[in-house]
Amino acid sequence: MANLLRTAKSGSNWTTAELDAYNITVIPQTKADFFGTNDFPADPTEPSMLGFMTNESRETATYKRTKQLLHYLDLTMDPEVGLHRVGC
């Protein structure tokens, strides 16, 4: 096979051809199947984590730490988010 130049890119920008090139297979699984157990800790009581699980965006979050966590997740999906918004 030819020497292909492979550059770093966000996982959301990968194509099926790149997944094939790296021999990556995505298999949908339940949480229990992935971790091999159903014995998980109780639901979190930390307000920022509860907010993370119930808010779809940081604009609707009430706790600062929840807004920060959702902002970091936004950055992982689209690094340009950080270029357009200042602060959390």
Instruction: Give pLDDT tens digits for 14-56.
Output: 888 888 888 988 889 998 899 899 888 777 777 777 787 888 7
What is the pLDDT, as a whole number, of residue 26? Answer: 84
CA R_g for the chain: 18
Quote the pTM value: 0.46
Would residue 87 be called left, alpha or beta, if left means φ above 0 and alpha means ψ between -120 and 50 degrees? left
Instruction: Give pLDDT tens digits for 62-71.
Output: 888 888 888 8
Secondary structure (3-state) at 14? coil
What is the pLDDT, as a whole number, of residue 54? Answer: 84
What is the pLDDT, as a whole number, of residue 33? Answer: 92
Q: What is the DSSP string of 38-80?
A: S--PPPP--HHHHHHHH-SSGGG--SHHHHHHHHHHHHHH-TT
Q: Where residue 83 falls among pLDDT bands split at 50, 70, 90?
A: low
Listed by start position, the domains of the chain span: 11-36+43-84
What is the pLDDT, as a whole number, of residue 2? Answer: 62
